[in-house]
Structure 1
Amino acid sequence: MRIAVVDGQGGGIGKHITEKLRKELPEGTEILALGTNALATAVMLRAGANEGASGENAVVLNAGRVDLIVGPISIVVPNSMLGELTPKMAEAIAQSAAAKILLPLIPGRTTIVGLKSEPLPHLIDELVRKVREAQAD
């Protein structure tokens, strides 16, 4: 299975996701770090991603080349992450045939109802459980 972890800004969420996936998933799982910027990509690579690429073209190109895309829900919201997540990136991720497992984190004025408020480490644990289920299918 080839999993893309998408993050931007400082890459902190992607780092935690990548570390947890690397620790919990079988050795042959391929993790691709897709950062909206080089810093985010570098942080995810240090956390254990196999490969990494940065910027709009990298995200657009690779969104269709993976089996699963994970990250904060803001990766499908145009102009999120202080504008780092471009409309083309959001569209490519949203339209990708890859399954998506997204964390309900959107800073600002957007609220997603029907979700319980959990600390980030608990949300990442749930994301990893969902990835394991996707691998089993």
Structure 2
Amino acid sequence: MSLLMVMDGQGGGIGRAIIKRLRDAFGDEIEILALGTNSVATSQMMKAGANRGATGANAIARTAPEVDVIIGPLAITMANAMMGEVTAQMAEAISSSKALKILIPLTQERVKITGVSAEP
């Protein structure tokens, strides 16, 4: 069984949508861990069907090296992103993990991703 980590912050809407679609596609064939930068984000992802959830920098730093896949917005790899919610420790843990990273090219930071068109 694959172990997936979905990470989100702020209101948790992106993470919630990811987990809902993963559950619809794979059912109980995968284990999903919801890791939030805050408790609201974690709670929203748990409601969408995550198996387990945790909040904060230490939880993310301890979990990221143990999973097979990490999914979330691009901002999870950037220190101080999401209005400061993503700490340097969080970004380093995600970036350094050997897990496959599936990053959604959404960010409110001053970053342009070449080759990706902006859509509403």
TM class by shorter-chain length?
over 0.9
CA distance in 1, matches of 2:28, 2:51: 11
Structure 1 residue aligned with 2:30: 29
Structure 2 residue aligned with 1:6: 7
Structure 2 residue aligned with 1:133: none
Q: If the length of structure 2 is used for normalisation, what is the TM-score? A: 0.95
Range 80-89 or range 17-26, more displaced: 17-26
Structure 2 residue aligned with 1:19: 20
Structure 2 residue aligned with 1:92: 93
Provide runs of 4+ in structure 1 moved above 4 Å: none
Kindly provide the amino acid, as one letter, of the partner of residue 107 in structure 1. Answer: Q
* SS of residue matched to 2:34: strand
* SS of residue matched to 1:81: coil
CA distance in 2, matches of 1:86, 1:72: 15
**Structure richer in strand, relative to its length:** 2
Structure 2 residue aligned with 1:46: 47
Q: Please state how far the C-alpha of 1:82 moved relative to its aligned partner.
A: 0.5
**Residue deviations 1:25-50 (CA, integer Å, cap 9, x gap):** 14220000000011100100000000
* SS of residue matched to 2:28: coil
Structure 1 residue aligned with 2:71: 70
Kindly provide the amino acid, as one letter, of the partner of residue 54 in structure 2. Answer: A
Structure 2 residue aligned with 1:107: 108
What percent of counterpart residues are identical?
A: 51
What is the alpha-carbon root mean square deviation over aligned residues?
A: 1.0
Structure 1 portions without partners, runs of 5+: 120-137
Q: If the length of structure 1 is used for normalisation, what is the TM-score? A: 0.84
**Structure richer in helix, relative to its length:** 1
Structure 2 residue aligned with 1:123: none
Range 104-113 or range 27-36, more displaced: 104-113
**Residue deviations 1:89-110 (CA, integer Å, cap 9, x gap):** 0000000000000000111321
Q: Please state how far the C-alpha of 1:117 moved relative to its aligned partner.
A: 2.8
